[in-house]
Amino acid sequence: MLQFATSFVYMIERHIMSDKTLTTVFTKLRKKFLNMAMTILPDEEDAADALQDAFCKLWPRRDTINDEAKAEALTGVTVRNICIDRTRKRTLPTVPLDEEHDTINNESTYSEREDKYNRVKAIIDNELTELQRRIIELKEIEGVEIVEIARRQQMTESAVRMNLSRARNRIRECYRKEAGDEQ
């Protein structure tokens, strides 16, 4: 019976210590975590909400957080991930389409689309590197995910994303330049 009581007291003390560790780190480093959140989320209220969400997310795991260094590291990673998730979830405003311009049957619209397609295709063929052309084709035409493109091309995912971004920017730049030259 004495052994049970001793282990029960140890368990309670450990639980109180883990609660205290997480709470102490959070209160002591709140300003640091808030500044980190504000580098990703410019609105202070959003950053404070993200910080609160991080604390709520970590609270159920408080028993596994037994020292301040671990609490600080977990909190930093959690705050960063929550901020990134919030940034990704923000939606861009949509613009309603004019039905007249969205009609496929309209002969001038069809020829305009075909002309735009041909211009973009020419830019892809003439202005992009072979690797960028292949990545654009896999991603935009075949609908292959970044992970799979990286595997097929024997590249890292970040290298695929970088090449995809550069290719898109180059296409956009050349298309705008051509459109400016026509006016």
pLDDT in tens, 61-78: 877 777 778 878 888 899
**More confident: 80 or 71:** 80
Average pLDDT over the chain, rounded to an integer:
78
Contact (CB, 8 A) for 159 and 150: yes
- What pLDDT is stored for residue 115 in this prediction? 85
Question: Is the predicted pLDDT of residue 93 greater than 60, yes or no?
Answer: no
- What pLDDT is stored for residue 108 in this prediction? 59
Provide the H-helix boundaries in the chain: 2-28, 30-40, 44-58, 68-89, 107-127, 130-136, 146-153, 157-182
The domain ranges of the chain are 11-89, 124-182
Question: Is the predicted pLDDT of residue 99 greater than 80, yes or no?
Answer: no
Whether domain 124-182 has CATH 3.30.2090.10: the reply is no
pLDDT in tens, 11-31: 434 443 456 776 777 788 888
pLDDT in tens, 107-124: 557 788 888 888 888 998
Sorted by sequence, the CB contacts under 8 Å of residue 59 that are 6+ apart come out as 22
